[in-house]
């Protein structure tokens, strides 16, 4: 009977996943029913990232007037690798002084404990990067990435193209026990038999180790240390996936489970392409792909995110748009309030009007519906070829007509003229709504396609998020829709650490000293 090996890991500090400050430890159990020759038993802690990219037939290479299909591209990066020998012990191993003679182990059950140091900050593959290496990160900002797509084998069993393409990139961490068997080496038997057992685990770095630097947030290009690099075309396979499995604390909020497309005035295409030449990127989006870029500016210390397009009003001269003014929307932690006053997220939403006041006062502009989505863009890179996946999570969908509140969401008596007199603005008081002010982000620690919600960049995988706020308006009986995109937003699966100021000690008057004659 073959030996039975089991490897068990001690639980992480937070009880859910290992993080930067954890030390991976555990035990190996070996059960044998007959004597076994063992040279050594080693526990290996390793992590790796793997990507596979394909080229759509629409963008096949043309050579000598012949259409030739491109091949699949694979990339493998070692993130870390550490070994620890648990048998024989160090004093015995050192006494052998290089001898390869195995040990005869009697039948029985044996336990061996192991413990590794803290996880490194940077991936090991950086030392193998050359000037021509194409990557999403540079050596200065590269960080050890979190576990990603560890359920990729299950994806392949499902007849779903969305999951199939999504599994083309993965980051996996594992602890592996390796038993080397065999007698002394000989010229006719140079190799030893190995017995392995693997235990995968989930690793997510601390938020400070996952933060994407501000100077690279808007950088959509792969980085390369070399000059005059010429890359092949990048084919993007885009899927728009909508899973509304978030909880909200009200029966008035309609949450739809399952798969579907977001009902919007804008259509999302299934394919687009990008061409990278000489280190510069040129996008060739399909005609119906919705851009997630919009103008933004700073006002009173808050960043202003404006609608990606304006809505023309019935008089033919005036227009309206929506602005989100926020100081904290660039980072979002789990259980952060979204609309609550003081959250610095969506507690500052304004309607901005341009035109003649006399004409605007005759119009009936009423908000009817609100929908907030979280958009995910995941890109895999290999050998200069990249595939991208787009998906959407519906966080909340709210019918504003059914709201019962003492104060209207839009009070036209509060309409004010801007300082330059070119436009008018009025706050859309979503923060005072009894439902919206209770909504928090990702309360149940949702898993999207098997992965928690977090942003990260590694050499060949980039996962970024953005918010999409859509409001449906009724303007003189005609329905219109505004859309504001906040892109990108750094998403964390950890709960924000609220540091409360320490209370000052109660004031105690000093003692009174008096001089007394002795």
Q: CATH no. for residue 52?
A: 2.60.40.640
Contact present, 449 and 390 (Cβ < 8 Å): no
Q: ω before 80 within 30° of 0 (cis)? A: no
Pure H helices in 197-272: 207-210
Rounded to an integer, what distance in angstroms lies between the CA atom of residue 287 and that of residue 309?
Answer: 16
**Claim to verify: residue 136 and residue 47 sit in the same structural domain:** yes
**Claim to verify: residue 143 and residue 196 sit in the same structural domain:** yes
Contact present, 233 and 273 (Cβ < 8 Å): yes
**Claim to verify: residue 90 and residue 220 sit in the same structural domain:** no
pLDDT of residue 186: 54
- 131, part of any domain: yes
- 515, part of any domain: no
Quote the number of domains for the chain: 2
**Claim to verify: residue 143 and residue 287 sit in the same structural domain:** no
pLDDT of residue 221: 53
Rounded to an integer, what distance in angstroms lies between the CA atom of residue 447 and that of residue 57?
Answer: 32
- 400, part of any domain: yes
pLDDT of residue 249: 36
pLDDT of residue 455: 96
pLDDT of residue 508: 58
**Claim to verify: residue 147 and residue 290 sit in the same structural domain:** no
Which of the listed residues 206, 232, 247 is the one where a domain comes to its end? 206
Interval 298-321: pLDDT, tens: 666 789 999 988 999 998 889 999
Low-confidence ranges of the chain (pLDDT < 50): 63-65, 215-220, 225-293, 499-502, 518
Is 0.85 topped by the overall pTM? no
- 513, part of any domain: no
**Claim to verify: residue 318 and residue 393 sit in the same structural domain:** yes
Domain carrying residue 255: 210-495
Kindly provide the b/e burial profile for residues 44-79, where b requires at least 16 CB atoms within 10 angstroms of the residue's own CB. Answer: bbbbbbbbbbbbeeebeeeeeeeeeebeebebebeb
- 509, part of any domain: no
Kind and range of the H or E run holding 162: helix 161-166
**Claim to verify: residue 418 and residue 452 sit in the same structural domain:** yes
- Return the closest-CA partner of residue 466 out of 491, 492, 486: 486
**Claim to verify: residue 391 and residue 271 sit in the same structural domain:** yes
**Claim to verify: residue 257 and residue 385 sit in the same structural domain:** yes
**Claim to verify: residue 16 and residue 127 sit in the same structural domain:** yes
Sign of the torsion formed by the C-alpha atoms of 447, 451, 457 and 463:
negative
Rounded to an integer, what distance in angstroms lies between the CA atom of residue 198 and that of residue 175?
Answer: 6
- 503, part of any domain: no
**Claim to verify: residue 445 and residue 410 sit in the same structural domain:** yes
* Radius of gyration for the chain, computed over Cα atoms and rounded to the nearest angstrom: 30
**Claim to verify: residue 315 and residue 441 sit in the same structural domain:** yes
- 514, part of any domain: no
Which of the listed residues 206, 239, 270 is the one where a domain comes to its end? 206
- 518, part of any domain: no
């Amino acid at each position: 009977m073959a030996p039975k090996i089991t490897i068990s890991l001690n639980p992480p500090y937070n009880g859910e996943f290992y993080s930067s400050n954890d030390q991976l430890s555990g035990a190996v159990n070996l059960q044998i029913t007959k004597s076994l020759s063992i040279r050594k038993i080693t526990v290996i802690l390793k992590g790796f990232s793997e990507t596979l990219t394909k080229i759509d037939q629409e963008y096949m290479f043309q050579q000598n007037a012949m259409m030739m299909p491109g091949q699949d591209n694979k990339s493998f990066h070692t993130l870390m690798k550490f070994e620890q020998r648990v048998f024989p012990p160090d004093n015995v191993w050192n006494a052998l002084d290089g001898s390869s003679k195995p040990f005869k182990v009697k039948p029985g059950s044996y336990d061996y404990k192991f413990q590794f140091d803290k996880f490194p900050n940077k991936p090991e593959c950086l030392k193998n990067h050359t000037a021509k290496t194409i990557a999403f990160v540079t050596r200065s900002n590269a960080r050890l990435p979190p576990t990603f797509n560890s359920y990729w084998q299950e994806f392949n069993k499902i007849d779903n193209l969305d999951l199939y393409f999504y599994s083309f990139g993965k980051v996996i961490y594992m602890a592996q026990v390796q038993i080397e068997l065999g007698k002394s080496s000989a010229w006719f038997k140079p190799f030893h038999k190995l017995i392995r057992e693997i235990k995968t685990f989930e690793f997510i770095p601390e938020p400070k180790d996952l933060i994407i630097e501000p100077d690279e947030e808007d950088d959509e290009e792969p980085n390369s240390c070399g000059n005059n690099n010429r890359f092949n075309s990048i084919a993007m396979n885009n899927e728009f996936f909508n899973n509304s499995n978030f909880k909200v604390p009200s029966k008035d909020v309609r949450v739809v489970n399952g798969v579907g497309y977001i009902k919007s005035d804008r259509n999302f295409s299934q394919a687009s392409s990008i061409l990278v030449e000489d280190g510069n990127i040129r996008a060739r989006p399909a005609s119906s792909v919705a851009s997630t870029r919009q103008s933004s500016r700073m006002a009173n210390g808050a960043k202003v995110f404006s609608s990606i397009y304006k809505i023309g009003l019935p008089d033919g001269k005036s227009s309206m748009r929506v602005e989100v003014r926020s100081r904290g929307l660039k980072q979002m932690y789990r259980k952060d309030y979204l609309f609550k006053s003081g959250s610095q997220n969506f507690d500052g939403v304004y309607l901005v009007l341009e035109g003649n006041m006399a004409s605007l006062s005759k119009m009936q502009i009423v908000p009817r519906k609100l929908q907030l989505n979280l958009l995910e863009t995941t890109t895999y890179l290999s050998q200069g070829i990249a595939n991208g996946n787009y998906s959407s999570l519906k966080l909340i969908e709210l019918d504003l007509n059914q709201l019962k509140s003492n104060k209207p969401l839009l009070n036209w008596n509060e309409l004010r003229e801007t300082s330059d007199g070119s436009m008018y603005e009025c706050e859309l008081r979503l923060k005072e709504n009894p439902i919206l002010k209770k909504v928090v982000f990702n309360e149940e620690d949702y898993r999207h396609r098997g992965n928690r919600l977090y942003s990260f960049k590694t050499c060949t995988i980039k996962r970024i998020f953005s918010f999409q706020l859509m409001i449906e308006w009724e303007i003189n009986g005609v329905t219109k829709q505004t859309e504001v995109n906040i892109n990108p937003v750094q998403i964390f699966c950890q709960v924000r650490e609220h540091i409360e100021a320490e209370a000052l000690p109660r004031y105690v008057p000093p003692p009174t000293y008096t001089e007394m004659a002795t």
